[in-house]
Each structure stands twice: as C-alpha cells, then as structure tokens.
C-alpha cells in the first residue's frame, strides 16, 4: 500500500476527532458561553449541516482542479474552521465556525477515496479506502477521548487548537506524500460530474448508505441509556464502552476493506445482514453487563464492515465521474446520522422501551438490503439490455457483410 495513504488517514483522524469531540465538550462549552445544553447541542447540528452542504458544493466547485491541491485546500479550510472555533467570542461565532469546519469534511473523504483507489491495483481498491477511513475509526478510540480530556483540563478552546495542529500535520503529509503527477486535473468536467448524479443506480447506492448507516445511528444515538438503564452500567463506565465501539469499528473497517476486494457485493450484503442480526439481538444482549459490552463491539464491527463497500458501490455506479458522487456519499452518511437518530427517538418516545431504537435500526438495515438489491437488479437489467443491443449490432453487421460479399 502506498505511503501516501497515511497522509489521507492523518486528515481523516483530524476530521473524525473534531466531528465527535463536541459531544463530550457540550457541558463545558455551555457553561463557558452561558447557554443552555440544548442550545449547545446546535453546535453538533451546525457541523453536520456544513458536511451535507459542503460535500457536493465543494466537490463540484473543484471538479477541474488538481485532486492533490483540492485535498490540501480542504485541509486548510478545516484548520481555519477549527482555529476560529478556538477563538470564537460567543455562541453565534462558534456556530459559524463549526459550520465552516464541517464544509470540507465530505469533499475530503470523497476526493480522498478517488485518490486512494487510483493509487493502487484494482484488487486493492476497497483496502485502500478502508485504510483512509482507518483515521476516522481510530479517532473514536484515541483522538476523541484524548481531545475530551484536553478540553476538560485545559479548556475547550485548547481542544480546537490541538485539532488545528492535526490539520497542519495533515497538510504537510499531503504535500510530501501525495505524488504531484497523481494530482493532475481529472479528465471529467463539472458537467460530467453532475451527469453522474442523474443516474438511478447512483441514487440507489446513496439510498443504501442512508438506510445502512441510519440503522447504526438509530441505536448508537441512544446507546448510553441502554447501557445504564438496561444493562446496569454506571454513568462513568459509558466513556470506556464507547471506546470499545471504536475498537469494533476499526476492526470492522479493516475487515470490510479486505473482504470487499475479493467480493464487494457479498461483503456489502453480509455486513448489512450482520447489522440486522446484531441490532435485533440488542434487547437480549442488554440484559447483562458483559453481553452489553459485547453488543457495543459487535455493533461497531458490523456497521463499519459496510463502510468501504458502500463507498466503492457509489464510485462504481459513477465510474466516469466519481468525485462528486463519492463526496455526496459522505453527505449521505451525515443524513443517516440525523435521520437514524430521529427514527430511534420516535421508537423511544412511543414507549416501546429503552432498547427499541435498536429494533428500529434493524428495520432500517433490512431496508438497506432491499435498496441494495434493487440497485444491483437495475444494473443487471441495464447490462442485459446493453448486451442485447451489442448482439443486435453484431448480427446486423454480419448480415451487411454477407450481403456485400454476395
């Protein structure tokens, strides 16, 4: 694997840290800025909104630029957003800075996935994507806990200065390790990138991402009350258990990348099916402490096995112009975050029990299997029609040749 993938992983580590660390810093930020906890929660939404808006817009705006230069520019925007977060004088300024921090997120992962797959042999494409995403999953194990501790002891502003330093390290890594000849302008135009989004298979692939990762966030958004109210853990144990989720996600990410290089479709369907099984078993697994800890690890593993296959599925459907579609898939991940949490909340509010969000997640994962099956069915049908057209053209050519010869 090229050393350049390390540069992408460093950037992903910084992005993953700044995305999730706000959850642990909300009480400190609320107290310092003299706002309520729900108002501080809008800082999480501002970042997610930046991701959803920035992913397609920045990918489209940079369609004709060097991908190496685009990645460096996106990390520069990331550094600026986090530095401004550290310096924000009040809540409104911090909201704007968090929105700015989220803008490069989706485009970085989208363009980075295209760069990663272009640097390796075709049989290693999924593994290259998983190694880039490794930075994101490791951030949940190491980056977020470390950044949270930094914020609690040195102040939340120090956390964002630290994340800015990670961004600067990523810029240096990208400049040193991404080959200049690889960063040439892509062959596609903005029109070509936009045309890729008019494809039904691309939208079905994006729909699979929303349903599949919506399943994860339907349960994960309410994992703390499940662990405390159902499994009986103390509140202080939840942070350690969430680190176990990161360990499972890291293992699932690496496993999914390796398996998808051999059989992408089987890995995708197998990962979604395992996610259905794990989420459906949550009401049973949350009855004791040790099975609940196992459930957290299995949830991370099953969900992130599908990460690389889902990214490659979108890129495969938009093979002629993959940058915009790949970035749009990152926006789909964040829509899954918001939508999954909302659906899980509906199950909880309806009085179905503290573990009911997991069952709602199982239904979403099953929906993801159905959408993926439709996507592959459309591809097979289109492939059959294309093959039939080729046969008709060949037959007509033979008849014309025989007529001329006769």
CA–CA separation, 184 and 337 (whole Å): 34
| Paired tokens of 183 | 């960063």
For residue 171, the model assigns a pLDDT of 95
What is the model's pLDDT at position 366? Answer: 96
Residues 239 and 384 in one domain: yes
Report pLDDT digits (tens) over 255-267: 998 898 888 889 9
Say yes or no: 182 and 193 in one domain: no
User: Which run of H or of E encompasses 193?
Assistant: helix 190-196
CATH of the domain at 199: 1.20.1250.20
Candidates 41, 21, 45; CA nearest to 338 is 45
The pLDDT value recorded for residue 388 is 41
Q: Does residue 209 contact residue 312 with C-beta atoms inside 8 Å?
A: no
Give the pLDDT score at 162. 92
Model confidence pLDDT, tens digit, residues 278-295: 999 999 999 999 999 999
| Boundary (domain end) residue, out of 186, 221, 247 | 186
Distance CA 307, CA 6 (A): 18
Using a 10 angstrom Cβ sphere, with 0-12 exposed, 13-18 middle and 19 or more buried, the burial of residue 80 is middle
Whether residue 152 is found in the same domain as residue 244: no
Percentage of the residues of the chain whose pLDDT score is greater than 90: 33
pLDDT given at position 279: 96
Mean pLDDT of the chain: 84
In this prediction, residue 238 carries a pLDDT of: 78
pLDDT tens sequence across 151-204: 878 888 999 999 999 999 999 999 998 887 654 445 555 666 666 677 788 889
Predicted confidence (pLDDT) at residue 78 exceeds the cutoff of 90: yes
CB contact at 8 A, 70 and 122: no
CA–CA distance, 163 with 179 (Å, rounded to integer): 25
Domain count, the chain: 2
Using the 3D structure, point to which of 186, 209, 240 is the last residue of a domain.
186
- Please give the share of the chain, as a percent, with pLDDT higher than 70: 88
Is residue 220 classed as helix, strand or coil in its secondary structure? helix
275 and 133: one domain?
Answer: no
Q: Which 3 state secondary structure label does DSSP give 216?
A: helix
Tell whether 312 and 177 lie within a shared domain.
no
Domain of 292 in residue numbering reads as 189-406
Q: What is the number of other CB atoms lying within 10 angstroms of the CB of residue 86?
A: 18
Radius of gyration of the chain (CA): 22
- Say whether pLDDT at 6 is over 70: yes
Q: Which residue has the higher pLDDT, 72 or 335?
A: 72
**216 touches 318 (CB < 8 A):** no
Instruction: Give the tokens for residue 370.
Output: 């159905």
Q: How far is CA 337 from the centre of its chain?
A: 10
Co-location of 387 and 273 in the same domain: yes
DSSP state of 186: P
Residues 6+ apart with CB under 8 A from 271: 212, 252, 256, 302, 303, 305, 306, 309
Judgement on whether residues 156 and 201 belong to the same structural domain of the protein: no
Same domain, 328 and 195: yes
Left (φ > 0), alpha (ψ -120 to 50) or beta: where does 132 sit?
Answer: alpha
Cα end-to-end span (Å), the chain: 58
d(CA 54, CA 106): 7
**Pairwise CA distance, residues 160 & 79, whole Å:** 9
For residues 177 and 301, state if they share a domain: no
Give pLDDT tens digits for 101-120: 999 998 898 888 888 888 88
One-character DSSP codes across 81-130 = HHHHHHH--SHHHHHHHHHHHHHHHHHHHHHHHHHHHHTS-GGGHHHHHH
Q: CB of 57 within 8 A of CB of 99? A: no
Residue linked to tokens 């479709």:
265
Question: Is the confidence at residue 391, as pLDDT, over 50?
Answer: no
pLDDT of the residue at 45? 77
Same domain? 129 vs 195: no
Same domain membership, residue 201 and residue 178: no
pLDDT tens string 21-67: 876 777 788 888 888 767 777 887 788 888 888 888 888 888 778 88
In this predicted model, what pLDDT tens digit does every residue of 320-374 receive, in sequence order? 667 777 888 888 888 888 788 889 888 888 889 889 999 999 999 999 999 999 9
CB 205 within 8 A of CB 310: yes
Q: What is the pLDDT of residue 355?
A: 92
Q: Which of 137, 154, 186 marks a domain boundary?
A: 186
Q: Domain check: are 216 and 305 in the same one?
A: yes
């Amino acid at each position: 694997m090229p050393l350049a993938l390390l540069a992408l992983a460093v950037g992903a580590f910084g992005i993953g840290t700044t995305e999730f660390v706000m959850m642990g810093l909300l009480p400190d930020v609320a107290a310092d800025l003299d706002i309520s906890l729900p108002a501080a929660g809008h800082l999480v939404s501002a970042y997610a909104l930046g991701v959803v808006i920035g992913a397609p817009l920045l990918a489209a705006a940079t369609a004709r630029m060097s991908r190496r230069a685009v990645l460096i520019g996106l990390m520069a925007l990331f550094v600026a957003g986090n530095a401004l977060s550290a310096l924000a004088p009040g809540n409104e300024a911090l909201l704007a800075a968090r929105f700015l921090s989220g803008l490069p997120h989706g485009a970085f992962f989208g363009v980075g996935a295209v760069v990663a797959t272009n640097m390796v042999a075709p049989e290693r494409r999924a593994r290259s994507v998983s190694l880039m995403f490794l930075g994101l999953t490791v951030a949940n194990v190491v980056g977020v806990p470390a950044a949270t501790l930094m914020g609690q002891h040195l102040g939340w502003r120090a956390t964002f200065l630290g994340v800015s330093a990670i961004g600067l390290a990523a810029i240096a890594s990208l400049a040193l390790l991404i080959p200049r000849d690889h960063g040439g302008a892509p062959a596609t135009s903005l029109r070509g990138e936009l045309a890729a989004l008019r494809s039904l298979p691309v939208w079905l692939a994006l729909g699979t991402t929303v349903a599949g990762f919506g399943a994860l966030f339907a349960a994960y958004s309410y994992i703390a009350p499940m662990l405390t109210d159902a499994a009986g853990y103390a509140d202080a144990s939840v942070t350690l258990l969430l680190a176990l989720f990161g360990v499972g996600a890291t293992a699932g990410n690496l496993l999914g990348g390796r398996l998808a290089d051999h059989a992408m479709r089987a890995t995708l369907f197998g990962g979604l099916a395992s996610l259905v099984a794990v989420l459906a078993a949550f009401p049973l697994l949350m009855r004791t402490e040790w099975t609940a800890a196992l459930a957290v690890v299995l949830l991370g593993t099953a969900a992130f096995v599908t990460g690389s296959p889902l990214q490659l599925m979108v890129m495969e459907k938009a093979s002629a112009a993959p940058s915009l579609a790949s970035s749009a898939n990152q926006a789909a991940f964040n829509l899954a975050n918001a939508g999954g949490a909302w659906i899980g909340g509906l199950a909880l509010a309806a009085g179905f029990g503290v573990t009911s969000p997991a069952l709602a997640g199982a239904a979403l994962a099953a929906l993801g299997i159905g959408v993926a099956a439709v996507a592959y069915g459309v591809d097979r049908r289109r492939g059959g029609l294309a093959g039939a057209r080729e046969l008709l053209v060949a037959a007509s050519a033979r008849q014309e040749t025989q007529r001329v010869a006769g």
